[in-house]
């Protein structure tokens, strides 16, 4: 979501962080071996700063402390939100070809937390009825105006959640499987390598 040409302008970095960009850098360094790319995601979403975040939930900000992520400094306020199928679909399309996913922070469920699964957005469009949106349009080229349009769209998006809450790691993995067929390569349930299962 922070990629210069695929993230939500202007809340991005000034570099490309897609698989194609990594492959290009490797080729420039003379590395010809195939590269495996993995997507790293959390059980819940996070964001620094003022960028769009439809599933942000202030109650999670207090319930999920992260001492190493704070609101001091240039990066801005640190926020937390519920898992979001719309953003996940977009991220998977924008990132490029992946070999699998790494899912972290699954220990949140061991602490008795329950999360909500955002299936789609409701986009207000007065004076007409709201429009439901399950997928964000990916731009073919490099168009910051398109990315800014997405930023404005997300600023007005109202998350529409699944009826059932997510109260366990298996349930979250089932929801992820409804969006992607990528294999889950590793699951992390804590802060150390001993908390990772393959």
Note the pLDDT of residue 128. 62
Which CATH code is given to the segment(s) 38-197? 3.90.170.10
Span 102-111, mean pLDDT?
95
Alpha-carbon gap, residue 169 to 176, rounded angstroms:
11
Cα 189 to chain centroid, rounded: 19
User: Mind listing the pLDDT tens digit for each residue in 57-74?
Assistant: 999 998 998 878 777 776
Span 86-115, mean pLDDT?
95
Tell me the pTM. 0.91
Tokens of 164: 């059932």
Span 1-11, mean pLDDT?
89
Element (H, E) at 34: none
User: Mind listing the pLDDT tens digit for each residue in 121-157?
Assistant: 999 876 666 788 899 999 988 999 999 999 999 999 9
Residues paired with 45 in a beta bridge: 81
- Specify the 3-state DSSP secondary structure of 197: strand
Note the pLDDT of residue 172. 97
Domain ranges of the chain: 38-197
- Specify the 3-state DSSP secondary structure of 179: coil
Do residues 122 and 160 touch, judged by C-beta distance below 8 A?
Answer: yes
Confidence of residue 90 (pLDDT cuts 50, 70, 90): very high
The DSSP code sequence of 53-106 is: -TTB-HHHHHHS--TTS-S-STT--EEEE--BHHHHHHHHHHH---SEEEEE-G
Nearest to 43 by CA among 24, 66, 74, 17: 66
Note the pLDDT of residue 66. 82
Alpha-carbon gap, residue 108 to 70, rounded angstroms:
19
Note the pLDDT of residue 154. 93
Note the pLDDT of residue 75. 74
Span 151-164, mean pLDDT?
94
Note the pLDDT of residue 143. 92
Lowest average pLDDT, out of 1-15, 38-52, 153-167, goes to 1-15
Note the pLDDT of residue 60. 94
């Amino acid at each position: 979501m922070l990629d210069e040409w695929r993230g939500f302008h202007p809340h991005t970095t000034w570099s490309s962080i897609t698989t194609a960009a990594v492959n290009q850098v490797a080729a420039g360094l003379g590395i010809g071996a195939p590269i495996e790319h993995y997507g790293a995601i959390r059980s819940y979403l996070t964001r620094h700063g003022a960028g769009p975040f439809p599933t942000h939930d202030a109650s999670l900000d207090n319930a999920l402390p992260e001492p190493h992520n704070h609101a001091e400094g240039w990066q801005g306020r640190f926020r937390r939100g519920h898992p979001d199928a719309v953003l996940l679909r977009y991220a998977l399309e924008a990132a490029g070809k992946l070999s699998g996913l790494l899912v972290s922070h699954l220990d949140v469920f061991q602490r008795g937390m329950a999360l909500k699964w955002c299936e789609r957005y409701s986009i207000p469009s007065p004076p007409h009825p709201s429009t439901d949106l399950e997928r964000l349009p990916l731009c073919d080229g490099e168009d910051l105006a398109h990315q800014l349009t997405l930023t404005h769209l997300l600023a007005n998006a109202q998350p529409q959640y699944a009826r059932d809450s997510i109260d366990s790691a298996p349930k979250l993995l089932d929801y992820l499987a409804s969006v992607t067929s990528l294999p889950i390569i590793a699951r992390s349930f804590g802060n150390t390598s001993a908390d990772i299962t393959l």
